[in-house]
Amino acid sequence: MTILCKLLDIPDGGSLGVSPNARGRDQIVLIRKGADVFAYRNNCPHYDRAPLGWKKDEFLNKDQNRIMCAAHGALFRIEDGECVVGPCLGQKLEKLSVGVIGDDVVLNVS
Partner 1 sequence: MRILGPDELIFGVDNLEASAAFLRDYGLDESEPGRFLALDGTGISIKEKHDPSLPPPLPTATMLRQTIWGVEDDDALSEIEAELSKDREVTRHEDGSISCKDDSNFEIAFRVTKRKLLNLPPELINSPGAEPGRAANVIGANEDAEAKPRTMSHIVFFTPDMEKMSKFYIERLGFVVTDRFTNTGPFLRPQSNDDHHVLFMIQTPDYMQGLEHVAFHMQGPTELMLAGSRMVKKGYESFWGPGRHKFGSNWFWYFNSPLGTHVEYDADMDKHDGEWIAREAQLSKEASQMFLFENVEKWAPGGPPPGKK
d(CA 73, CA 54) in angstroms, rounded, equals: 10
The answer to whether 24 contacts partner 1 (rule: CB under 8 A) is yes
Fill in the per-residue mask, 28 to 57: x = in contact with partner 1 (CB under 8 A), - = not in contact.
Answer: ----------------------xxxxxxx-
CA dihedral 10, 11, 14, 17 (to 10 degrees): -30
Please give the span between the terminal C-alpha atoms of the chain, in angstroms, as a whole number. 8
Fill in the per-residue mask, 79 to 98: x = in contact with partner 1 (CB under 8 A), - = not in contact.
Answer: ------xxx-x---------
What does the binding site for partner 1 look like in residue numbers (CB under 8 A)?
23-24, 50-56, 58, 61-62, 68-75, 85-87, 89
